[in-house]
Amino acid sequence: MQHIIIDNRVCNLFIKGEKGPVFLHINEPSIPVGALQITEALEQIDNSYEYIFVEILINDWDKNLSPWSVKTNNRVFDGNAPLTLNWLLNNVIPYLKNNFTGHEEFYLAGYSLSGLFALWSLYNTDIFNGIICCSGSLWFPKWDEFMQNNHLRKNSMVYLSLGGKEEKTKNPLMASVGINTRKQLSLLKNDILLKSATLEMNPGGHFADTAFRVAKGIRWILKEKEFCLLSKKQKNNKIKEQ
């Protein structure tokens, strides 16, 4: 694991091979499960792929990753996700493109509220080839309206996951996460720019096996990319034969 400085911020970097996609993982400094645990989990699951993993640390999720301002459940969300996304587009992505040539595709990964941020970003920029949204906060107020009234900006792969116990809560707002996540998958499958999408259910609650959940999402993207490339080659071969 290496450390790099992007716009005066320390980011954690793991490089596997000379090619492959770049996975940006949005995390909070206070969360103990980070880049090391996730990359180790991924290598345990499948160590056959090349990729770059970059952990971007963002302070105060409620303030900086929420798509719009709202007060709910005794929490105040400032709605600064647009500012955070602009920082990624104007500082992080250019830095990575300049310093790591040969890695041309970018994917955004997140857990909980950062998972929602990753999903929201697909509707607001065409820079990412896909996202990983693990236990995403799709209970967020008015998200159901947003996802029904917006469309993807680029041909994208979307990995969604959820813990089986997450929707089993007495809090009606939090309980909506299951319904909204399934609705999200259904809407994505009708989006003309969707390349592929899946929803994986996991045992346990919101904070169970977080590193492995993110790692499984990365592996799904990598395998899906491999499958798409193989399908494209087979299609081209058939055209040549004709």
42-62: per-residue pLDDT in tens?
999 999 999 999 999 999 999
Low-confidence ranges of the chain (pLDDT < 50): none
- Cβ(161)–Cβ(210) below 8 Å: no
From the number of C-beta atoms within 10 Å of its C-beta (0-12, 13-18, 19+), residue 151 rates as: middle
- Cβ(135)–Cβ(213) below 8 Å: yes
Tens digits of per-residue pLDDT, 127-165?
999 999 999 999 999 999 999 999 999 999 999 999 989
- The structure tokens listed for 199 are 């929803």
Alpha carbon distance 64, 88 (integer Å)? 12
pTM of the model: 0.93
For 100, other C-beta atoms within 10 Å of its C-beta total: 16
